[in-house]
Amino acid sequence: MLPTSKDTLFAINQVQEDFVFSERVAQVFDDMLDRSIPFYQEVIKGTARLLDTFLHQNDTVIDLGCSTGTTLLQLARLLPEKGLQFKGIDNSPAMLHKARLKAEMFSKQDKVSFVARDITDLDQADTGAFLLNYTLQFIRPLRRKEFIHRLFNNLRPGGLLILSEKKISHDPLLNRKYIDIYHQFKLERGYSELEIANKREALENILIPFSIEENRELLLGAGFTNVETFFQWFNFVSFIAIKPG
């Protein structure tokens, strides 16, 4: 595998700038995901099962905000008999550079490709499935409704949207306790109190999560049916949403 640097971006006690998907972030991003997203690999495996169940042979799967391509490369490995075409879209050149290197290393260039583009300006008609993993939370709330409608319109009938997000709870007690549990999770994965505090400051006003109810309303309002959660861990959740066939 490509060497992955350990995430120490927030280990220095200094004023934090807003979080951006820069070259420095790309170098440690795989480690950051593995240590920051609970059951990250299990969500990918669950996604593979859903794609295998619902998609047609030779369908196209598009990962929006694909970062370093980990999800698509895993799916290509898990679903070799499905004949799926995988495309990753991201606006970070550093992330896409690493994604392309990984696709070449695993000899997946014929099945997995990557495109530099703003995902909110999408035009990919008749797509079998869109993946939106921990990405919608970085899009400004006022733009989310139009964006989800665009995804719905670009799916083929019966197509899927897989959405994974950090979430908030409107119950103040539960919300606070879930944050505390997540804080402990990151401590157990080797992050320090300083790193956790610094990253939280960098993400403030950049990562804006919705509740389960708000995300469900967004999906149903766009026309999706059979909107269900298929995974939840405290303040993380994954949805499947199906376009009527």
Query: What's the number of domains the chain is made of?
Result: 1
In a domain, 14, yes or no: no
pLDDT tens-digit readout, 67-123: 999 999 999 999 999 999 999 999 999 999 999 999 999 999 899 999 999 999 999
pLDDT tens-digit readout, 26-78: 667 778 788 899 999 999 999 999 999 999 999 999 999 999 999 999 999 99
pLDDT tens-digit readout, 141-193: 999 999 999 999 999 999 999 999 999 999 999 999 999 999 999 999 988 88
In a domain, 135, yes or no: yes
In a domain, 85, yes or no: yes
87: CATH: 3.40.50.150
The predicted structure's pLDDT at residue 16: 47
Confidence of residue 197 (pLDDT cuts 50, 70, 90): confident
| CA–CA dist 81, 191 (Å, integer) | 39
In a domain, 189, yes or no: no
| CA–CA dist 1, 102 (Å, integer) | 8
In a domain, 77, yes or no: yes
In a domain, 192, yes or no: no
In a domain, 128, yes or no: yes
Q: Position 231: which residue type?
A: F
The predicted structure's pLDDT at residue 17: 54
The tally of CA atoms less than 13 A away on the side-chain side of residue 12 is: 5
| CA–CA dist 174, 185 (Å, integer) | 16
Residues 6+ apart with CB under 8 A from 174: none
The predicted structure's pLDDT at residue 192: 84
Q: What domain range is 68 assigned to?
A: 29-168+207-242
In a domain, 97, yes or no: yes
The closest of 68, 55, 66 to 25, measured between CA atoms, is 68
In the sheet where 155-166 sits, what is the strand order? 112-116, 85-90, 60-64, 127-133, 155-166, 236-242, 225-233
